[in-house]
Amino acid sequence: MTDDRIEPPLTGGERETLRGYLDWHRATLVVKCAGLSDEQLRRPSMPPSTLSLLGLVRHMAEVERSWFRRVVDGQDVPLVWSADRDFQVAYDATGADRTEAFAAWEAEMASARRIEAAAPLLDVTGVDRQSGTTYSLRLVMLHVLQEYARHNGHADLLRESLDGTTGV
C-alpha cells in the first residue's frame, strides 16, 4: 500500500494547519481503501452494522457536501444518497458503485477546497437552513476534521478485518 499523504505543517497559521490536517485525513481514507476489490470495499463490518469502507467514502461525500456547499456556501443542493440529515443511508454500500462513490467524494472535496480557499477569513459564516444555526468556516473545518478522524478509526478496523493491513 503506497502512502502519498502530505504531512500537515508543524508550524504555520491556523488556516494552513486546519487545511493541512483536513487534507491529511482525507488522504488517509484514500490509503485505507487502496488496493481493495469492489467486494472488499462493500463488505460490512459485522452484523447488524452495514458500515463498510465504501460506505465511509459515501458518508464523507455527504459530510463534505452538507457542511461546505450547503452551510458555508449557502447552496440549495440535495444530499447525494441520503435523506436530509440521515447520513446512515450512505453507510449501506451493498449495491453501491465504486466509481460513482469515489467520483462524488472527489467532487465534494474539490468543492470544499474551492469554497474554503475563496473565503477571506475563517470567521466567514453560513447558516444551516434546517436548524437556523450559524456556523463559522473555522467550526466547519474543525467539525469535518473530527468526522474524518473518527471515521478513519473505523476505517483502520475495517481494513484490518479485510486483509490484516494495519497502520497508516
- pTM of the predicted structure, to 2 decimals: 0.93
Concatenating the DSSP letter of every residue in 83-97 gives BTTBTHHHH--TT--
Which amino acid appears at position 69 of this protein? R
Provide the residue-wise pLDDT of the chain in tens; the chain has 168 residues: 567 788 888 998 999 999 999 999 999 999 999 999 999 999 988 888 888 999 999 999 999 999 999 999 999 999 888 776 666 676 777 788 999 999 999 999 999 999 999 999 999 999 999 899 999 999 999 999 999 999 999 999 999 999 998 876
Listed by start position, the domains of the chain span: 14-163
- Domain 14-163 belongs in CATH node 1.20.120.450: yes
